[in-house]
Amino acid sequence: MVSILNDSTDAYFNLAAEEYLLRSFGQDVFMLWQNEPSVVIGKHQNVWAEINPAFIQERDIKVVRRFSGGGAVYHDLGNLNFTFIESSRNADFDKYTSLMVDLLAEVGVPAEADSRRGLTVQGLKISGSAQCIHRGKCMYHATLLYKTNLQMLASALQGDLSDSAEWGVERRAAYVHSVRSPVTNITHYLPSALQLQDFKNIIISFLLKNKIVEGEYQFSPYDLQAINQLKEEKYATTQWNFQATAPK
């Protein structure tokens, strides 16, 4: 498995990169990445049930629908995202959750896994995850609330279905609804101060030490062209992010 330290903070690009790596990339991969302020919703969600549109428009927060299911999450530069993609006919998603519990234990954070493969500390959520399987490959991706603006998170994730008509949204019978949980930041539980970049370095060192990853990969010009094309044709479009009622 190779590691990709993706330095883009463009949510449209990063979600397109995940789909490209899942569908078209030849190697197993771990990607560590961050987004500028964004709300990322699950593939089968009604965006209007998940977001506060007035708040989001006022603050120019991106809204992006991802390739996997699950609930809505808020990202900013105080949040880390990680993605594992592996070729597997028998996906074991719990192993990734356990791996992150062990990683956090190394920095003194006593995290526990919940029934939805999220992570909590003293009952407060610090990570949510989603998973999918596509043609013999599995993807597990999750957030890590390191030093996120929790007030912005709470305000952005307040749905209002009355705004859906403005965007020409067709109603359907059922959507996946987010499960709201009280949240906190990892920094509150660290025994000593640790900069975010240092925490990122610890993650990579941990994965190398445990032979989860064996080298670093940088996107090639071909990769970047394919990802940017997918971004422009899908992830940066109103149709996919706001109007899709049965995303493919």
Residues 97-128: tens digit of each pLDDT: 999 999 999 999 999 999 888 999 999 999 99
* First-to-final CA distance of the chain: 28
Q: Looking at residue 239, what is its pLDDT?
A: 92
| Average pLDDT of the residues in 141-156 | 97
**In which element (H, E) is residue 65 found?**
strand 62-65
CATH number of the domain where residue 99 is located: 3.30.930.10
Q: Looking at residue 248, what is its pLDDT?
A: 42
Q: Looking at residue 115, what is its pLDDT?
A: 83
SS3 (DSSP) at 124: strand
Q: What is the pLDDT of residues 124-140, one digit of tens each?
A: 999 999 999 988 999 99
Q: Looking at residue 163, what is its pLDDT?
A: 53
Instruction: Report the distance separating Cα 73 and Cα 154, nearest Å.
Output: 10
pLDDT at 167 over 90: no
| Average pLDDT of the residues in 204-224 | 96
Domain presence at residue 95: yes
Domain presence at residue 247: no
User: What total of structural domains would you count in the chain?
Assistant: 1
CB contact at 8 A, 143 and 75: yes
pLDDT band at residue 168 under the 50/70/90 scheme: very low
Instruction: Report the distance separating Cα 20 and Cα 18, nearest Å.
Output: 5
pLDDT band at residue 176 under the 50/70/90 scheme: confident
Q: Looking at residue 174, what is its pLDDT?
A: 52
What is the token pair recorded at 102? 């062990």
**In which element (H, E) is residue 63 found?**
strand 62-65
Q: Looking at residue 160, what is its pLDDT?
A: 64
List beta partners, residue 247: none
Q: Looking at residue 180, what is its pLDDT?
A: 76
Q: Looking at residue 13, what is its pLDDT?
A: 98
Domain presence at residue 248: no
| Summary mean pLDDT of the chain | 90
pLDDT band at residue 173 under the 50/70/90 scheme: very low
Domain hosting residue 31, numbered range? 2-241
CB contact at 8 A, 139 and 22: yes
Alpha-carbon 51 to chain mean position: 16
| Average pLDDT of the residues in 171-195 | 82
* Residue scoring higher pLDDT (156 or 248): 156
- Among the listed residues 185, 30, 187, 183, the one whose alpha carbon sits nearest the alpha carbon of residue 107: 187
Q: Looking at residue 175, what is its pLDDT?
A: 62
Q: How far is CA 81 from CA 150, 207, 222, in A?
A: 16, 15, 24
- Report the percentage of the chain scoring pLDDT > 70: 91
CB contact at 8 A, 156 and 52: yes
Domain presence at residue 172: yes
